[in-house]
Amino acid sequence: MSLNLPSCPLGRPSQTMNHWIPTVTLEEMSRNEYDVIIVGSGAGGGAALWRLCEKMAAEGKRIGMLEAGDPLIPTHARNLPTMTSERFQQFLYSENHTSYTSKYSSNYPDAIEVNALGGRMLFWTQISPRMDVCDLKDWPVSLDEMNYYYGVAETAMNVTKSFFKGSPLTETVIQRLHNAGFSDSTYIPMATDLKGTGNGEIHSNVFFSSLSFLARALNWSFDLAVKAKVVKVYTENGRAQGLRVMDSEKNAYTLKAKNIVLAASTFETPRILLNSGIKGDAIGHYLANHSGVRATTLMPRDQFPETLGTLGVLIPHGENCPYLLAMLDPNTWHAPEQERPFNEDVTINIGGYGKVESRYENRISLDPTRVDEFGVPMLNIDFSYSDNDQLVISEMTDTIRQILKKVAGDDNPSVCIMPIGSDYHETGTCRMGDDPSTSATNRYGQIHGVEGLYVADNSVLPTVGRANPTLTTVAFAIRTADYIVESLKQGSKSNVGVGRGES
Ligand SMILES: Cc1cc2nc3c(=O)[nH]c(=O)nc-3n(C[C@H](O)[C@H](O)[C@H](O)COP(=O)(O)OP(=O)(O)OC[C@H]3O[C@@H](n4cnc5c(N)ncnc54)[C@H](O)[C@@H]3O)c2cc1C
């Protein structure tokens, strides 16, 4: 008997893919001219990429992204079922993808760079508060506009206070804090997707990373090259022209781009600018971060209901916002497959983020004698706390002691100061402002005096503020992307305004 049916086509794709994300070679990229190239795929780079792709989808613009690292993992490390708290730390500090700024300078011992697709957002803790008005009021962007872009960023990153809400431990501690006079204490806003998988929709990336920005950008089109280390930007007559980029074999390529968005981090972005001879009094200066104080205490288990839940409380405190405190439970981050340990006492960690002043003398500069494997000068980092910074640390310590006494009955907690840099919140080395003598970029993130050259990472924050920086970096990156879209539409940078509330 012969079946008169056509043969079904094989389900094989015409092309295959070597990574979990499509990439192109630098050789291929060097044959094109790009409307925008983004350098770095962390928080700022990912956000700018997504927004540019979304807004320019219909216009057929060509967008590229260059990332020095490789595609290490396809999601935030905490979304991996094998990742216990201990393995998470071991993986974060692996020398295969993480380098330490201590290689540059001894007075900045503990900052890290994650050289991988997704940058440090593969490992961040997702704490995502807005900056306070007392910080924002001195910034060059209006409060209305900041509110608008914070809203866009929070939606894009799934920021929610519900992650800790309802947890008996959190509720008890918040109640005690309110009773003790810390009335602003609230649930930590977290960039976590809490929607359940269902109706054919998969929500497996609970913990947000910039890889979700890249995934959204893939709904449209962009070229991504990995293991692509940008060493220089080229400019001519006050306009961005392109980049010099090297692959892991140290082959060099020149890529052409009308607009360049540097999002390589607070240390690496000014390094590229300085290595390119870009002029600007503020480039590399005004390095700021958060000073840190930590304490741990134990509370008897019988003070809490049988179901304990976990702890995540934010305590904004003090006039003029000198610092922010956060209370966390070290067991929050157990992996789904891991059994949660039963402890007789409940461990509570409290930490403070102290605002560090923006001072010209806190800076990065190129080392005149040492270069890295790509021939780029190494960095020197000069950093110290001012008298005022020390005062903030001292006040923060007093408040932590006061809280642990009132909330946990601990009269003598052991308190320690965190090594400089271990907040991983460094900012300011390309800060935004109206005056080119005290800021590197204008209010849209464009380097003063160089059309088409932008910065969209933590380095543009005008001051460190007291809040964790990433939400603000994402908000600024989205705003800078909107500005680039408008400028490409208009073909000229003058009179371009973006967003809401722009005067
Ligand atoms: C353990 C940990 C916990 C954290 N928790 C929080 C938190 O709870 N809340 C918060 O707000 N922040 C947190 N942070 C900080 C947060 O991760 C950073 O604020 C954020 O990632 C900064 O984004 P970025 O774009 O400036 O740089 P990054 O995320 O560092 O991305 C820079 C990217 O550029 C690439 N790159 C560098 N140089 C080059 C080059 N020359 N060419 C091409 N590519 C290059 C890098 O490989 C990297 O992928 C945490 C960080 C860590 C490490």
pLDDT tens for 400-419 read 999 999 999 999 998 999 99
Rounded Cα distance between 396 and 322, Å, is 8
Rounded Cα distance between 503 and 498, Å, is 10
pLDDT digits (tens, 9 = 90+) for 364-373: 999 999 999 9
Q: Residues in the chain, how many?
A: 503
Rounded Cα distance between 280 and 431, Å, is 11
- Taking Cα atoms as reference points, which of 48, 43, 37, 144 lies closest to residue 445? 48
Q: Looking at 329-469, list the stretches that DSSP marks H as alpha helix, in order from N- to C-terminal side.
A: 387-408
> Residue 179 pLDDT more than 50?
yes
Nearest-5° Cα angle at 423, 89 to 174: 90
Helix (H, G, I), strand (E, B) or coil at 314: strand
Distance 407 CA to ligand 1 centre (A): 34
- Mark residue 264 as left, alpha or beta (left: phi above 0; alpha: psi -120 to 50; beta: remaining): alpha
Query: Relative to the CA of 115, which ligand 1 atom is closest?
Result: 47
Q: What is the mean pLDDT of residues 183-187?
A: 96
| Cβ atoms 153, 475 nearer than 8 A | yes
Please state whether beta strands 252-262 and 33-39 pair in parallel, antiparallel, or not at all (unpaired): parallel
User: Higher model confidence: residue 364 or residue 334?
Assistant: 364
User: Higher model confidence: residue 301 or residue 231?
Assistant: 231
Rounded Cα distance between 388 and 380, Å, is 24
Nearest-5° Cα angle at 35, 34 to 37: 65
CB-ligand 1 contact for 332 (6 Å cutoff): no
- Taking Cα atoms as reference points, which of 101, 33, 105, 99 lies closest to residue 69? 99
CB-ligand 1 contact for 381 (6 Å cutoff): no
- Taking Cα atoms as reference points, which of 133, 128, 129, 94 lies closest to residue 114? 94
Give the per-residue pLDDT at 496: 53
CB-ligand 1 contact for 424 (6 Å cutoff): yes
CB-ligand 1 contact for 270 (6 Å cutoff): no
| Cβ atoms 116, 40 nearer than 8 A | no
Residue nearest to atom 46 of ligand 1 (CA): 115
E strands, 301-382, where?
Answer: 312-317, 323-328, 345-355, 363-371, 377-382
Q: Distance from first CA to last CA of the chain, Å, rounded? A: 79
Distance 480 CA to ligand 1 centre (A): 18
Q: Half-sphere exposure of residue 433, counting CA atoms within 13 Å on the CB side?
A: 21
> Residue 503 pLDDT more than 60?
no
Which pLDDT band holds residue 104 (cuts at 50, 70, 90)? Answer: confident
Query: Relative to the CA of 118, which ligand 1 atom is closest?
Result: 49
Neighbours of 394 (CB within 10 A): 11
Tokens in use for 238? Answer: 């006050």
CB-ligand 1 contact for 126 (6 Å cutoff): yes
Please state whether beta strands 377-382 and 363-371 pair in parallel, antiparallel, or not at all (unpaired): antiparallel
Mutate to test the pocket of ligand 1, among 72, 123, 214, 265 (most ligand atoms within 8 A of CB): 265
20-158+193-197+204-288+359-375+425-503, CATH topology level: FAD/NAD(P)-binding domain (3.50.50)
Q: What is the mean pLDDT of residues 261-284?
A: 98
Which pLDDT band holds residue 420 (cuts at 50, 70, 90)? Answer: very high
CB-ligand 1 contact for 207 (6 Å cutoff): no
Mutate to test the pocket of ligand 1, among 120, 333, 430, 457 (most ligand atoms within 8 A of CB): 120
DSSP string, 237-270: TTEEEEEEEE-TT--EEEEEEEEEEE-S-TTHHH
> Residue 162 pLDDT more than 90?
yes
Rounded Cα distance between 427 and 267, Å, is 9
> Residue 498 pLDDT more than 70?
no
349: buried, middle or exposed (CB in 10 Å: 19+, 13-18, 0-12)?
Answer: middle
Give the per-residue pLDDT at 97: 92
Cα→Cα distances 54→37, 118, 256, 402, 499, Å:
15, 19, 22, 49, 15
Cα→Cα distances 461→136, 140, 332, 445, Å:
10, 10, 30, 10
- Taking Cα atoms as reference points, which of 361, 413, 429 lies closest to residue 389? 361
> Residue 48 pLDDT more than 70?
yes
Tokens in use for 137? Answer: 């009021």
| Cβ atoms 267, 101 nearer than 8 A | yes
CB-ligand 1 contact for 40 (6 Å cutoff): yes
Give the per-residue pLDDT at 35: 97
Cα→Cα distances 175→32, 77, 399, Å:
59, 33, 17
Q: What is the mean pLDDT of residues 250-279?
A: 98
The CA R_g of the chain, rounded to the nearest whole Å, is: 24
Domain locations in the chain as residue ranges: 20-158+193-197+204-288+359-375+425-503, 161-189+290-355+386-419
Neighbours of 296 (CB within 10 A): 16
Rounded Cα distance between 444 and 142, Å, is 12
Of 299-303, 304-308, 403-407, the range with the highest mean pLDDT is 403-407
CB-ligand 1 contact for 46 (6 Å cutoff): no
Rounded Cα distance between 231 and 246, Å, is 7
Rounded Cα distance between 369 and 377, Å, is 8
Query: Relative to the CA of 127, which ligand 1 atom is closest?
Result: 8
Q: What is the mean pLDDT of the chain?
A: 93
> Residue 64 pLDDT more than 90?
yes
> Residue 251 pLDDT more than 50?
yes
H or E element: which one contains 28? Answer: helix 26-29
Give the per-residue pLDDT at 109: 86
CB-ligand 1 contact for 189 (6 Å cutoff): no
Nearest-5° Cα angle at 354, 345 to 365: 125
Give the per-residue pLDDT at 201: 92
DSSP state of 340: P
- Quote the percentage of the chain above a pLDDT of 90: 82
For 433, phi and psi rounded to 5 degrees? 180, 175
Q: Looking at 72-200, list the stretches that DSSP marks H as alpha helix, in order from N- to C-terminal side.
A: 85-92, 133-136, 143-156, 168-179
Give the per-residue pLDDT at 494: 47
Give the per-residue pLDDT at 502: 41
Query: Relative to the CA of 69, which ligand 1 atom is closest?
Result: 47
